[in-house]
Structure 1
């Protein structure tokens, strides 16, 4: 059960902002506080992450990025209050007024994410030897996964009667293996294109990108909240978790999601090698492989029905992802051909 702060503790914390609570409402993980000066949200964060969180938000403010729900400073200039070994920060209550079309909301989210990344982007020096070691380890992991799936396939096919899970796995094996092969090929292309490079692009990532963490004010402007997991990293660290979640569910050909993604690329285009790595990561059938591994490791403790249902869902997710990946691959290939043709005409 979530903690409900006592009115005494809330009053003590708000003294740092020269505020006094009239009424407090528990809303999930936050406290909605009504005062004579307006409505505010008080939120607790992990003290170990508090300094980094505030640092990244301040960096974005300084760079001119203002689509973050502001964090109010205390009267002595601090952006968080330490109370009873716990850290709290205060921000305005945003009513999320825009209840319009889902597509328009998501397009604005992806446009603002692209702006956030473009404003904070910088080159980071990397060690070429470390990249090579990282690549070689990933290739070994992919090879081992291919060998694992193939050995299971051969084991299942030698049986006179396969269990429901084994039959389901054998039916889907080709798709799993095809996704692995695609992921490996794009990874190899990425390494070939970058093995001599000494720098890589990094950005300030939101860390918990979600439609629930992007709210709208009464003017229809969107603002990010929940920046506690902000960090420096490749932009894919924001995109991939969002896409994985969005692609779950029944089989579908999600052109809408593709449009949102290309809204992002319009304002923060990936370099060719970044796109190859992005496609390698998203195409990898990791969830399905984990489900198969878990089933065969559980032995007598496994639940056949639940395992079959889980593998079915993993397969649907894989096919949804496959459609998105193939469409991106097709679009990027066409763009490259057009660029090459334009370059030839200029010669």
Structure 2
């Protein structure tokens, strides 16, 4: 690996620079001109072209919080070795925040601004909508089938473990989440059918606290735009809110801050958009995947660790449900006033 990095440093004009391996795919480089991050590309050549195309679009459109790629000559080239592709970007050192707003709201503002800048609409025929609905519903059916298979397997255990009991006690909650997702999705698809089109914007793809940085000047940045591209803003928001809930669930009252910040800086938002957000955000799929991992390899962790992690995932999903309930109550009150 050292030889590969040294070869790449020569290609990008940073030979003899001091470097440290930060992870399996990220190298931190110190030079007289500043700090850089060298990142290994782990996707397909087609995805690489999409990535570069999307970054060029974002640069032209004036998107916020995007760390520019550089090869020291000003373009967005990637650098190739015999085995991997890499790209280079300035390194932004994370700084502790000394004043409000908190990190999550600064990052949410970046998402909102980018969605507003890039918002557009595209036609969707009834056949196209029907095809999409079938794909989504098939995915839900597979998840529900897995849920029932796991429940059957755990119920037939001679002596139920704490993990199995916790999973089974949550079964009515998972089932309710599938019902809530379907209601939200139906609300969104009705609007798409009426308008014969759907909204989309430039999305990060995987916005999270880990992929967000606050620089010394207080500006917010997102890294890892590798899955960026056009999509409904709800896809970014669902991923971001799910990540917040995993890290440290907030008090339900803070739903007002989260939704309020996005709507203050982002595109217009309606009940149908909330419906799609609900359909994306309330999925019990991560819990089901985790339970399948337990069923496959129960000795991977101690029983109490498995159970604690499952309870944490359940708590996160309950918090997300509280968020959506708050939002729907707010919209109902606005509609009735």
TM-score by length of 1: 0.77
- Which of 302, 326, 343 is the aligned partner of 2:322? 326
The superposition leaves residues 138-191 of structure 1 with CA deviations (integer Å, 9 ceiling, x where unpaired) of 44665676687679879988x897623554444333222222222222223333
Tell me the residue number matched to 1:163: 160
Aligned to 1:62: 60
Query: Structure 1 residues 22, 174: closer, same or farther in 2, change over 3 A?
Result: closer
Do 1:74 and 1:80's aligned partners in 2 also have CA atoms closer than 8 Å?
Answer: no
Q: Deviations over 1:232-279 (max 9, x none)?
A: 222233222333333237887454466234312332243321211211
Separation in structure 2 between the aligned mates of residue 305 and residue 26 of structure 1, nearest angstrom: 28
CA displacement, residues 259-311 of structure 1 (integer Å, 9 cap, x when unaligned): 23431233224332121121122223223344556677x5xx76699678646
- Is 1:279 the counterpart of 2:275? The answer is no
Q: Distance in 2 between matches of 1:4 and 1:257?
A: 47
SS in 2 for 1:248: helix
Q: Judging changes above 3 Å, is the alpha-carbon distance between structure 1 residues 326 and 94 closer, same or farther for their aligned structure 2 residues? A: closer
SS in 2 for 1:196: helix
* Cα 1:161–1:272 shift into 2, 3 Å: same
Q: CA deviation at 1:108?
A: 0.6
Aligned to 2:30: 34
CA distance in 2, matches of 1:7, 1:293: 38
Q: 1:6 to 1:260 in 2, by over 3 A?
A: same
Larger Rg computed on CA atoms: 1
* 1:13 partnered with 2:11: yes
Equivalence map 1:72-83=2 (5 Å): 72-75=70-73, 78-83=75-80
Q: Is the 8 A contact 2:209 2:244 kept in 1?
A: no
Q: What residue number does 1:190 align with?
A: 188
Give the match for residue 345 of structure 1: none
- List gaps (5 residues or longer) in structure 2: none
Shift of 1:115: 0.9
Pairwise CA RMSD:
3.7
Unaligned ranges ≥5, structure 1: 342-347
Match in the other structure for 1:344: none
Q: Cα deviations across residues 69-111 of structure 1 (Å, max 9, x unaligned)?
A: 2222543x54224332443333223223344368622111100
**1:96 alignment partner in structure 2:** 94
Per-residue deviation at 1:230? 1.6
Task: Work out the number of aligned pairs and report it.
Answer: 331
* TM alignment of 1:130-141, pairs within 5 A: 130-136=128-134, 138-139=136-137
Does the 8 A contact of 2:184 with 2:278 survive in 1? yes
Q: Classify 1:247/1:33 alpha carbon distance in 2 versus 1 (closer, same or farther; 3 Å).
A: closer
Q: Is the 8 A contact 1:288 1:311 kept in 2?
A: no
Q: Partners of 1:10 and 1:147 in 2: how far apart? A: 48
Q: Work out the CA distance in 1 between the residues paired with 2:157 and 2:5.
A: 68
Tell me, what secondary structure is at the counterpart of 1:195?
helix
Q: Is the 8 A contact 1:63 1:120 kept in 2?
A: yes
Question: Residues 138 and 43 from structure 1, CA distance in 2 versus in 1: closer, same or farther, beyond 3 angstroms?
Answer: closer
1:4–1:191 distance in 2 versus 1, CA, 3 Å: same
Moved more, 309-318 or 19-28: 309-318
